[in-house]
Amino acid sequence: MIVLGIETSCDETAAAVVTADRRILSNVVLSQLDEHRPYGGVVPEIAARAHLDHIDRLVGQAMDEAGMGFADLSGVAATGGPGLIGGVIVGVMTAKAIAAVHGLPFLAVNHLEGHALTARLTDDVAFPYLLLLVSGGHCQLLLVEGVGRYSLLGSTIDDAVGEAFDKTAKMLDLPYPGGPSLEKAAVAGDPARYALPRPMLGRPGCDFSFSGLKTAVRHIAEAMPRPLPEREQADLAASFQAAAAESLVNRCRNAMTGLSQSHPEVRTLVVAGGVASNQTVRVALTGLCAGFGYSFTAPPPRLCTDNAAMIAWAGIERLRLGLTDGLDFAPRPRWPLDPDAVSMQPRATARHQQTAQHTPLAARS
């Protein structure tokens, strides 16, 4: 079984070819960073046009690198949501066209399910597992019991953790994109220099909050001289990163404690999404799992941030179960993994909302 995956839900145009025996034959990602950098965030209209400009070439490149023709494929998968709707439409229409012309099954993949199942592509992780999904628009703990079987254990009540990294980076005058540049700046910093709050620490449950931490950073950053001395910048970045990681660990610990009663068969923690590429977060979660007797899986960083291999893989998982979609599938700007928990979910967070305020609101993946 060989599936072409297409990802266009935010600011990466991506195409990949993946096999059911877990081989990534090609994985092409074109970042739109340069287009969005002048605005300090993702501008949906610019993203949609850029996807349209590049998608055909990228699909061609992914097929060439895989050494495949469309006739060799078993199906075509595209992110069907959640995300910036203009971009999602571009990917879905492209996949539908290829599927229609070549008589292939079409698979509309939930972008979050792409992140959620990546550890099964990279490490063959078995169900069930606890998933910490940490990206620019989502911060959730989920019990994953199978393809399409997700129970939300906790979610952020304000910012997603990736959004908090991005906003903090901005306050520290670090270059866009914020998360990776904050991690880089923090390497030289002292994480104990500033006593920042550890959000939600000691509170029951698995919900997250990052706005208090962000405000604490703002107060300190605003009082600093400009241009920011490198030492202060590095120390505050490291202090923020340590506080965010500790908060994530604390919430995961609560989830593990709860699951040890209700689902003792869960013995694995998987971290996924862009923030999962952060080394401090990975090390902190490794320590937590060691203490709990859990095994820990974090996909390689390039498969944590948005990519199409995860979409192709989720497509394979769905195709194996016969979960194909009709060509009348309508792209979804919002698409929770656990629909039963939808009423518990906070407002959609949006990586681009923080900066490009002139742009319309849209759900982020």
- Residue with smaller CB distance to ligand KG4, 135 or 297: 135
CB of 328 to Zn ion, least distance (A): 25
Cβ-based burial of 209 (10 A; exposed 0-12, middle 13-18, buried ≥19)? buried
CB of 365 to Zn ion, least distance (A): 5
Q: Could you tell which of ligand KG4, Zn ion, none binds residue 176, using a CB distance below 5 to 8 A set by kind? A: none
Interstrand relation of 129-134 and 268-272 (parallel, antiparallel or unpaired) = parallel
Instruction: Please check whether residue 255 is in contact with residue 208, taking contact to mean a CB–CB distance below 8 angstroms.
Output: no
List residues near ligand KG4 by CB under 6 A. Answer: 10, 135-137, 162-163, 165-166, 177-180, 183, 273-275, 277-278, 305-306, 351, 364-365
Do the beta carbons of residue 1 and residue 19 sit within 8 Å?
Answer: yes
Q: Which is nearer to ligand KG4, 73 or 182 (CB)?
A: 182
In the complex, least distance from residue 12 CB atom to Zn ion, rounded to whole angstroms: 9
Asked if 10 and 83 count as a contact pair (C-beta separation under 8 A), the reply is yes
Write down the H helix ranges in 124-229: 161-171, 178-186, 211-222
Q: Which of ligand KG4, Zn ion, none does residue 351 bind to, with CB < 5 to 8 Å depending on kind?
A: ligand KG4
Question: For ligand KG4, which is the closer residue by CB, 163 or 325?
Answer: 163
Question: Pattern of binders to Zn ion over 118-137, x per CB under 5 A?
Answer: -----------------x--
Q: Taking the complex as a whole, how short is the minimal distance between the CB of residue 193 and Zn ion, in angstroms? A: 31
Bridge partners, residue 79, by sequence: 109
Pick one of Zn ion, ligand KG4, none as the site partner of residue 137 (Cβ within 5 to 8 A by kind).
ligand KG4
120 vs 247: CA distance, rounded Å: 26
Alpha-carbon dihedral sign for residues 161, 167, 170, 176 = positive
The residues of the shown chain that bind Zn ion, judged by CB under 5 A, are 135, 306, 365
